[in-house]
Chain A
Amino acid sequence: MNCDDMLKMINRYVDGEIDPSMCANLERHLAECNPCRVVVDTLRKTVQFYKGDQMTELPIQFKKKLDDALRQKWDQTMGKG
């Protein structure tokens, strides 16, 4: 296994989709290749950071605009029915 092989499998490795025998091979490479280890680590963090970056509130001005638009539509379709 070399760094190119590692790179081709990096997504499946980070996602835990590699079968155990290949995984052992890959981890042997990682144990002796510092750059590949750093690439795997930072790729994993990349995915984690984006997954964790969730929004809990709408921008305040848009919230008001949305509420007004929905209320108006509601009165047209539901409220006056």
Chain B
Amino acid sequence: MTDRAAEFDEARLVAAAKGGDYNAFHALVEAHAPHLYALARRVTGQDADAEDVVQTTFLKALENLANFREEAAFGTWVHAIAVNSALKLLRQRKRTWVGQPGDGEDDSLPQPQLVADWRPSVEQQVEQREFHELLQQVLDELDEKHRVVFVLRDIEQMSVKETAATLGLTESNVKVRLMRARLMLRERLTALLGEGPNLKAHMDDHDHAHLLEGRP
């Protein structure tokens, strides 16, 4: 189905739901809940929190369905509710909020320590479920302020501007955190998926010609 056809279909479902058709509402939930669950799980780092976020999101959608304008995209609407609910949960739990700039917000970057190729087609060699769990575990280990920026920018594809506005950060904070997040995830994944020699030693001297020429 094309995006436009899907939107049309969705607008019809929204109209039917507003008219009292539970099955139409349920079809909208089924279409969006898995993605929102994954988003909430990544942001909060907890299964139970992800469930809370998804349930809250659709209960809110249901409560406000009568006021929802059919020309707007239902998916965009529930996505925004889910992001805000997930961030609210984090904010309630932590004394320091991810949107607080401050500590360590200089431009320094983590230097790559492990530099090795990854096993070829690694994502096809392990079961999808297992690979998903590996990615999730590595993401869970990332500290919250970097994890949230990575999820909103790289997985949810929100713009720098949108991410900054959502988190109350400057755009430059978002860019630095995204860079750090990617480098930290890359490092950890290399530890798990890397093969062959660690080329890190060669990164320090900025003279790599010997690698190409086969000199020791």
Contact = CB atoms under 8 A, between A and B. Distances in A.
Interface of A: 2-3, 7-8, 10-11, 14, 32-36, 38-39, 41-43, 45-47, 49-59, 62-63, 65-67, 69-71, 73-74, 77-79, 81
Interface stretch (B80-88, B92-100, B163-171, B202-210): B202-210
B200 interface: yes
B113 to A, nearest CB: 11
21 contacts: A11-B179, A34-B202, A34-B208, A35-B115, A35-B203, A45-B189, A46-B182, A46-B186, A49-B135, A50-B185, A55-B35, A55-B132, A57-B34, A58-B54, A62-B37, A62-B51, A66-B29, A66-B54, A66-B55, A69-B55, A78-B22
Given A7-B109, A56-B34, A65-B51, 20 more contacts: A14-B182, A34-B211, A34-B212, A35-B211, A42-B118, A42-B186, A42-B190, A47-B154, A49-B135, A50-B150, A50-B154, A54-B38, A55-B35, A62-B54, A66-B55, A70-B29, A70-B59, A71-B22, A78-B65, A79-B20
A11 B63 CA distance: 41
B135 to A, nearest CB: 5
Contacts of B26: 67, 70
Contacts of A67: 26
Contacts of B162: none
Interface of A is mostly: helix
Interface residues of B, number: 54
B116 A38 contact: yes
Contacts of A78: 20, 22, 62, 65
A72 to B, nearest CB: 10
B175 A11 contact: yes
A3 B30 CA distance: 47
A13 to B, nearest CB: 11
B58 A39 contact: no
Contact of A38 (B20, B109, B115, B150): B115
A59 B112 contact: no
Contacts of A3: 203, 206
Interface in B125-162: 131-132, 135, 139, 150, 154-155, 157
